[in-house]
């Protein structure tokens, strides 16, 4: 019986190690993708249309995210569920415009918004944008 307990413990450690390695690999791939978009992405302007927070089933910590729109050439694209930090969540303003970069071959999935780079000159239009957002996303 002790051999069975040892085997179960060994299998649990193996699966935990594999899970950790997989998550680390996925995170490094995400960071690589973000670096590519940052380096060669097409720059445009985006507008925050929603901010939200909640808890995932497996994660007791709160997750913060925003949704934003941006123009890809002549098409309006919307990126939903872009994860952000709690600090960014507290600072971001719905209706404000920010710098966005994306890869043309995959604009929605690759789009990144730069919340540290708001476009203050567009703030005069926030109320108008909020009305449009509320009307569009009822």
Radius of gyration of the chain (CA): 20
| CA separation for the pair 44, 76 (Å, rounded) | 11
pLDDT in tens, 12-64: 877 777 777 776 665 666 677 878 888 899 999 999 999 998 876 666 678 89
Q: What is the pTM of this model?
A: 0.74
CB burial of residue 115 (10 Å; 0-12, 13-18, 19+): buried
CATH, domain 41-136, list 3.30.2010, 2.40.50, 3.30.1360, 2.60.98: 2.40.50
Domain ranges of the chain: 1-40, 41-136
Q: What is the mean pLDDT of the chain?
A: 85
């Amino acid at each position: 019986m002790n051999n069975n307990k040892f085997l179960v413990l060994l299998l649990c450690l193996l699966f935990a190690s594999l899970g950790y390695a997989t998550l680390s690999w996925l995170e490094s791939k995400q960071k690589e993708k973000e670096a590519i978009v940052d380096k060669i992405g097409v720059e445009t302007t985006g507008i925050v249309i929603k901010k939200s927070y909640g808890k995932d089933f497996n994660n007791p910590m709160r997750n913060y995210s925003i949704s934003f729109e941006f123009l890809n050439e002549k098409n309006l694209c919307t990126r939903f569920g872009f994860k952000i930090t709690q600090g960014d969540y507290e600072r971001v303003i719905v209706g404000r415009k920010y710098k966005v970069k994306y890869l043309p071959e995959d604009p929605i999935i690759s789009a990144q918004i730069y919340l540290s780079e708001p476009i203050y000159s567009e703030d005069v239009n926030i109320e108008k944008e909020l009305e449009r957002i509320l009307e569009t996303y009822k």
